[in-house]
Amino acid sequence: MSTTLPAPTPLDPEVTGASPRTYLVKTLGCQMNVHDSEHMAGMLEQAGYVPAAPEDAASEDADVIVINTCAVRENAADKLYGNLGRLAGTKRARPGMQIAVGGCLAQKDRAGIVERAPWVDVVFGTHNLDVLPVLLERARHNERAEVEIAESLQVFPSTLPTRRESAYAGWVSISVGCNNTCTFCIVPHLRGKERDRRPGEILAEVEALMQQGAIEVTLLGQNVNSYGVEFGDRGAFAKLLRAAGAVEGLERLRFTSPHPAAFTDDVIDAMAATPTVMPQLHMPLQSGSDRVLRAMRRSYRSEKFLGILDRVRAAMPHAAITTDIIVGFPGETEEDFAETLRVVEASRFASAFTFQYSPRPGTPAADLPDQLPKAVVQERYERLVALQERISLEENQAQVGRTLDVLMAEGEGRKDGTTERRSGRAEDNRLVHLALPADLAPQDAPRPGDVVTVTVTHGAPHHLVADSAATGGTFAVRRTRAGDAWEARQAGDDAHDHGGAGAACGTGAPAPRGPVVLGLPTIGLRA
């Protein structure tokens, strides 16, 4: 069933004379979900909702709470229903409160969510984010739960209004969906086949972010380097990197996550030749065993993976490489696991996201024989983590003495208040905690979005410390327009625009009126 109702207007306080309803979006899952949540927030604000105040958000005190779910991790369902169980009491105590569930688990479980948690008001899927405001209003009017799950993409998410979490950095989706058939992954079933955006639309969105003050962009795709498959150009992603990297005002360009099977040397060349592309690569390994990779339907082998890393490091010697690894895939032997340890040792990852395999209903791997005992998986997982912790520590200790440019961030340093440090990301995306000079005037302190030059004084497994300023060493602050944008947002003078589908990602910048070539093929606009 498709939604044909117009966008709701009764929330406009000028019409109702009432205070606007508040909202909170809680995100579970990956970067794609984080960006989807930005679209959800943008649509709600366009419909007249306002964000819950920080103290209210912390206590989950809002008129509408949206949970954007994940279906990939083992405890995804536990997290959702744990959140919903806690919110049941909140809703009983707050008449008129609404709860909406979206994202991958909503796409998968559908009406089963309302059956298990009947106090949920709205369920919507990954293919129809645009229906959220309408379904909330319909549920209020009809006083019943509204469930709407589309089977295919209705509106490209990047055409929707967007409320960016950050004033200084932004996500830009270049594609949605996935054409791979990895046996452990349910994402293609939930997000559909790959759909590529027009290059002109992508570049217009990057330009709009620069106009708003951002200086960093991360290109997003389920398999980001497969970009161009829909219009038949294997070199499209490398061309896009060069074109996006040349947008005026952009200082840092990143992308995630590429697939090793589609990783080509022209991408490495583009990374090395484009100064704004950062020396950082996150590329999932999943397993170091060729036998397990075949069982996973991962169409590369360990030596190809290591060869890519060698060529990346030859082109960018200081590149930091991170990865994802699954331990305990069905049928994994001790010899298979030893191969994973071998490849991890050889790869010298700066860090790794490590996961214990758990069956995801609906995936081929869930029905494979030889599911491993939990104790075996746990023991192997602990060995892998210990190995990667050692490597991460060694790699970070090797950074001591390097002078880095750190883009200051908001919320990265959980202990900044007690350590009196500030935190941000180096060009290679390592987390850096840095000291300020003792005599630095408050008005001269770096803001999120500013860039600080410091020297690394200590390396830990998960971060660097750069206390050079505390001893009279390297310390310089470059105040940026991104810092100005952050400061304006703090003062309530946010230039953010929730423009609709006629704008480039709802940023308020007009979408290109015709094809933008820039050496890339184009594809037609979609409804």
C-alpha to C-alpha distance for 52 and 63, rounded to whole angstroms: 8
Residue for token pair 């050692």: 390
For residue 492, the model assigns a pLDDT of 81
Give CA 368 to chain center in angstroms.
Answer: 30
Q: Please tell me the CATH superfamily of domain 157-398, with its number.
A: tm_1862 like domain (3.80.30.20)
Using the CB atoms, write b or e for 478-510: b if 16+ within 10 Å: eebbbbbbbbbbeeeebebbbbeeebbbbbbbe
Contact 252, 245 (CB under 8 A): no
Give DSSP secondary structure letters for 231-277.
GT-TTHHHHHHHHHHTSTT--EEEEE---GGG--HHHHHHHHH-TTB
Residues 6+ apart with CB under 8 A from 361: none
Q: What are the Cα distances from residue 42, in Å, to 6, 129, 150, 488?
A: 17, 11, 20, 19
Q: What is the mean pLDDT of each run of 10 residues along the chain (527 residues)?
A: 43 62 90 87 94 92 94 77 92 94 90 94 91 95 93 79 91 92 86 90 96 96 92 94 98 96 97 98 98 97 98 98 98 98 98 93 90 97 98 98 97 79 97 96 96 98 97 97 95 58 37 36 32
Is 182 annotated as ligand-binding?
yes
Is 505 annotated as ligand-binding?
no
For residue 36, the model assigns a pLDDT of 87
Measured over the CA atoms of residue 378, residue 380, residue 386 and residue 389, the dihedral's sign is negative
C-alpha to C-alpha distance for 134 and 239, rounded to whole angstroms: 39
Q: Give the strand pairing for 175-176 and 169-173.
A: unpaired
Is 104 annotated as ligand-binding?
yes
| C-alpha closest to that of 488 among 212, 288, 247 | 212
- Show me where the domains of the chain are located: 22-148, 157-398, 402-491
Q: At the top level of CATH, which class does the domain 402-491 belong to?
A: mainly beta
C-alpha to C-alpha distance for 67 and 63, rounded to whole angstroms: 13
Type of residue numbered 121: D
For residue 157, the model assigns a pLDDT of 80
C-alpha to C-alpha distance for 217 and 205, rounded to whole angstroms: 10
For residue 13, the model assigns a pLDDT of 53
How is residue 452 written in tokens? 């600080």
Burial of residue 457, with CB atoms counted within 10 A of its CB: 0-12 exposed, 13-18 middle, 19 or more buried:
buried
For residue 4, the model assigns a pLDDT of 42
Q: Which CATH architecture has domain 22-148?
A: 3-Layer(aba) Sandwich (3.40)
For residue 430, the model assigns a pLDDT of 98
For residue 390, the model assigns a pLDDT of 98
For residue 85, the model assigns a pLDDT of 93
Residue for token pair 């007009």: 510
For residue 156, the model assigns a pLDDT of 78
